[in-house]
Structure 1
Amino acid sequence: MRTSAAVGELLRNDLGWAAWRLHEAVVGHSDEKIKGFVSAWLESPVVYRMEQVFDTDSVMMGSSPRFDKYGIEFGLGKAVALRSGYANKFSGKVTGYPGRDGGGSVDLEICLPPATMAALESDEEFMSCVS
């Protein structure tokens, strides 16, 4: 699933507007669309390479919410945080996990260069929405 917004749109609107765009993409990810994608791929199969499908000036969200990552206990106590490992790390990659505290919370792993992360951390609107 995919959505997009121009820089000007992001600057003119608030964070909730951007979140709504993501919500619309998720809601629009229907059974019919998935079957259409699979059918088209079967007609002309390809092996996707990240550099062919990912715009380096964008943000890509990924997740696997079906596995209870915080619920597994190996005798060391509940995990403090999650990290996705080495694979598929690149600037602009955001991985979402069901939050450690439950209740609909979301933990995000964000991969950005240091200067970009510093700018994000100094954005008051963004920081007012995270903990």
Structure 2
Amino acid sequence: MNSIDKLLIHYAGKSLDVDFQKVDFFSKFYGLMFKSKNTNNLLFEFKKDVKTPFTSFFVFFTFLILFLDDKNNVIDFQKVSPFKRLIKSNKKFRNVLEVPFNSKNEHIFDFFDDNLEKFK
């Protein structure tokens, strides 16, 4: 995996800088699997718009998955519980950001304040 970087995401007319670690080719297969909830946010980049499904098998904590377009607009998001077999968006996306529910990511949850009911 690579070093920590920042990504400016956009949602509902607002923008937010989010720290992330870009996943390499092999890391795309396991993402947050077997990691602690205090791990870094992970960014999955795709060369074209896709509808690739994800899973949370062997992820032992709840996390937020953000589906982004090519301009980093949030087009869909979900609260994901551990060991969920299939996670997918109904919309095509270019990037995905996996955000563990932990104290260092509280500002991200606040950013989605109007929709927090989805996460409870």
- TM-score normalized with structure 1 length: 0.29
Higher relative contact order at CA 8 Å, sep ≥6: structure 1 or structure 2? 2
Q: Which has the higher helix share?
A: 1
Q: Which has the higher strand share?
A: 2
- TM-score normalized with structure 2 length: 0.31
